[in-house]
Structure 1
Amino acid sequence: MRGTLVLPVTIATFAAIIVATLGATVTDLGPWYQSLAKPDWTPPDGLFPIIWTLVFALITVSGVTAWRAAPDRPAAQWVISLFALNAFLNITWSLLFFRLQRPDLAMAELVVLWLSIALLIFYCKRFSKLAAWLLVPYLIWVTVAGALNWSVVQLNGPFG
């Protein structure tokens, strides 16, 4: 239905790089973050960029796969819209947690981010099980991030 893969893969890859770069730009692992009490099970700081890179690669493949499998133009536009909403929420979490130093607000926003991933999985599964399954590691990682975020709030709050 949509011809070659070159353009959609290029656009999706570029969009993922933009989202990842914006998220990384607002992520500050400086003195404030280092001073937070964190649970013993917190992954090492160096592991986060590796995991996020893998997750973003899977998100990109999922997005292209779902877009190509969409049965018509409105469904394909919904795929793009839902992935765009999720990208916005992903960046917003980093902004709230790191830049505004409000893990409490970030935790509330993370619930919405998690729900947006679940919605993506549910929507994409209608026409591509592969696209849906490719998002499962993202949901798992955001669940881990949510547990970590909750622990930071519990160990350090109140904020603001």
Structure 2
Amino acid sequence: MKGVKEVKKVQVGGKKHLVLAEDAEIEKLLQRGLSLKRKIKDLDEELDSIQERLIEIARNRQKETTTVTLDGITARAVVTFRESYIVKDEVEDIKVPLGPLFEMFFEKKSEYKATPDFKKFMESDHALGIEAPEKVKADILKYVSVKETKPYLKMEEKTDGK
């Protein structure tokens, strides 16, 4: 005979439901998480408007410096204005006129990223026409490692009540 699972009452929207204990915990966690998410969204919006206004004030006070300090009585804000240059690939057109300065001013960077086909090859038994695919995979893993990213969790209100 199977063991009896614990059942709990949960009240949602004024209506009581009998559910398994773990499902009751899930409901409570979701409700608390969504409540916090709404509060954080409201606070983030308020913080953004405060920061935008402080940056606007700092921009008006900025002279020839990149950093502006805004002193209050109890706190201080330090605003650092940064800029970067976007270089188009066509910059090589001026390589000859600049001569050795070109290498001094510009550097070309490239990086390798794994494609979806790579993932399929590594995780499947399909050899893609390669003899001894296991050896090839082992050789590849000398240069490639798997980095686990934080799992994505999306919580949202149900709109249809189900």
Shorter-chain TM-score bucket reads: under 0.3
Q: Give 1 or 2: higher strand fraction.
A: 2
Normalised to the residue count of structure 2, the TM-score between the two structures is 0.24
Look at both structures and tell me which one has the larger radius of gyration over its CA atoms.
2
Q: Give 1 or 2: higher helix fraction.
A: 1
